[in-house]
Amino acid sequence: MSERTASCLCGNLKATARGEPEAVYLCSCLDCQRKSGSAFTYAAIYSESVVTTSGERNTFRRNGDAGRFVDTHFCPACGVSVFFHAEGLPGMIGIAAGCFTDPDFAQPSRLYWASRHHHWLDLPKMVAREDTQ
């Protein structure tokens, strides 16, 4: 079974996942734009049972649109957000797909908050667009 490790910039905070993710998506909500400093986040959702994490972390809790929290875990040294837990996804862990630095990583199946996506961005047709999350 394949194993991939997502890492922050300095290498302190890591998440290692066995097998393939349950879901892969992009999100263009305003929080994700700020969090990533980019036009969208690119996230992979795994069952917590196949992921091990290591390294020192800080956690920032924000409340999503449905009033449920999302805990983003980031490296205290370099500030990169490597993984997150969402109240709406019990038993699961989300990993920032870019932190795997794997060009063969699974493509996203949908874009959440498509209504807020940057207009220059033209996504492949196989990426479904959802107006909310």
The strand pairing partners of 110, in sequence order, are: 25, 128
Write out the H or E segment, with its range, that includes residue 8.
none
Whether the CB-CB separation of 107 and 126 falls below 8 Å is answered with yes
Q: Does 75 bind Zn ion (CB under 5 A)?
A: yes
Is 27 among the residues that bind Zn ion (CB under 5 A)?
yes
Q: Is 86 in the site for Zn ion (CB under 5 A)?
A: no
* Residue from 15, 26, 32, 86 binding Zn ion (CB under 5 A): 32
**Binding segment (CB under 5 A) for Zn ion, from list 3-11, 45-53, 86-94, 98-106:** 3-11
Q: Kindly state the smallest distance separating residue 1's Cβ from Zn ion, in Å.
A: 27
- Check if the beta carbon of residue 115 is closer than 8 Å to that of residue 101: no
Tell me if 26 contacts Zn ion by CB under 5 A: no
Distance CA 17, CA 32 (A): 22
Cα–Cα distance between 120 and 52 in angstroms, integer?
37
Q: Which residues here bind Zn ion, judged by CB under 5 A?
A: 8, 10, 12, 27, 29, 32, 75, 77-78
